[in-house]
Amino acid sequence: MYPFKILFISILSVLCLSFVEAQSTPADLLESASSGSDVSTVNVGDNPDVFTHPTKVLTDAFNSDVKKVIVPNLGKPYIVDPILVKHGEKEIVFEPGVVILAKKGSFKSKMDSLVRLENVKNVTLRGNGATFRMNREDYLQDDYEPSEHRHALSIAACDGILIEDLNVEESGGDGVYIGGAYYHRLPVPEDSVKITWTAKDGRQVTRWELPVSKNITIRRVVADRNHRQGLSLITGVNILIEDCVFKNTSGTPPMHGLCIEPATLRNQLKNVVVRNCISENNDSAGFSIYLRKLKQSSEPVDILIEDCQVRGSKGSGLIVGAIGNREDEGVSTHITFKDCLVMDTEKSGIYVYDKSYNTGEVVFQNCILWDVAKSNIGGLISPEAAEVENSRRLPPVAPIAFYLRRQSDLTNHFGGIFFDNCLVKDQGGRPVIGQAAYLGIKDLKISNIRGTILTTEENPTVDLGPYTSDMSLEVISQ
């Protein structure tokens, strides 16, 4: 009799244990993962709180120790407050059609991003066509403090990040932001750099910096209708941006498709490649590089933009500016635009300004400018405006424009540009290259402009002014 009783109790125990295990929730799994248990994958759709507390569910999953997080398409958006990710080593997979939507009335802080990766390593976001969408128009209302930093996706001081097949829309700042991380109070990450300076009001200011992101790949991302930029790159080493589209940027300057603009002299731009991307219908430039914050003491710059297109920009197509000034000839640069097409822009196809002649060449290789500089803006604003203090001369209306625009700290000596087999198709009646300078600047010196430009003009001309030297530029009609 007793053996049968023991067998019955054993069977009952196994059944009870199986039932308890079947009732384990994703929250239990995340707790196990956080405690170091071997849990490899979590599907947040299995969590019963996924729509009642979506910010917490997603934040907990993204910051857990699991190696893979699945965000399923449950038929309606995940409506969230800002999500901060500070724990790496994982893959986050969004199913097709998923929408991560910013909650209305939230994002009150000037620096609130929809999703922010901060000081993490080895994180992959596989979008599969998912969308990160904010509420751009809301942030322009009176109950929001003005800001250009409410980004859809912010990558701050990270290492080993892969973003694929994602849409980033309607942000109050950039679709994608890649930069460093900055801290104004302790505690801070161990490898932060302490920086102290004197503010304009005489106060001593201290902050800690993680000044660079590295090993970042952004692939097949579409940035649409963002407020400041489609994508901003502030600092990065080993950066690849490819097969992306940046379009319909409008709101607050610069309003470029993609903008590379360091914020401090400690930022770095090494082995940066932008490949096979399209910038279209933006309120300003297509692709721009602005290096004013970098000095001779900064790390050398290495940027390649290749096989990219600019279409229908309300500004210029390709811009490079602010390399060197009266106090400092600027950072050493190696910047190349290769096999790029610029068409139907309101302003110049290529616009280079405040570029010191001896900081390394900017190279335009096999680039095509097709019906660019379509606006009639240029020359003096008006005879009346020319008499007004601080009035200025605007960049010339030409397919290629050179300009000195800063009266107080402009580059001493403009130049250092190489055109390697470029083609200009223009409407005619104006120089292929034009130059101008801020009113009051005299004797603009231009040196070291070289290479070959082919043009459809029968009798092409260039306007480089009377003060040129070390020139070896051919402009050939074909």
The DSSP annotation for 403-447 comes to EE--TTT--SSEEEEEEEEEEEE--SSS-SEEEEE-TT--S--EE
**pLDDT at residue number 408:** 52
**pLDDT at residue number 91:** 98
**pLDDT at residue number 437:** 78
For the segment 77-103, the average pLDDT, to the nearest whole number, is 98
The DSSP annotation for 130-188 comes to EEEE--GGGGGSTTS---S---SEEEES-EEEEEEEEEEES-SSEEEEEE-EEESSSS-
Cβ neighbourhood burial of 358 (10 Å; 0-12, 13-18, 19+): middle
- Four-CA torsion 347, 263, 307, 284, nearest 10 degrees: -20
Q: pLDDT for 336-380, tens place per residue?
A: 999 999 999 999 999 999 898 888 899 999 999 999 999 854 443
- CA dist., res. 418 & res. 123, Å (int): 39
**pLDDT at residue number 277:** 98
Q: pLDDT for 389-432, tens place per residue?
A: 344 456 777 999 998 876 556 677 889 999 999 999 997 788 99
For the segment 429-456, the average pLDDT, to the nearest whole number, is 85
- CA dist., res. 363 & res. 306, Å (int): 11
**């092409």: which residue's tokens?**
460
The answer to whether residue 37 scores a pLDDT higher than 60 is no
For the chain, what percent of residues have pLDDT higher than 70?
85
The answer to whether residue 96 scores a pLDDT higher than 60 is yes
Q: Which residues pair with 351 in a beta bridge?
A: 319, 401
Please, where are the H alpha helices in 247-356?
A: none
CB 234 within 8 A of CB 178: yes
Three-state DSSP class for residue 460: coil
User: What DSSP character marks residue 347?
Assistant: S
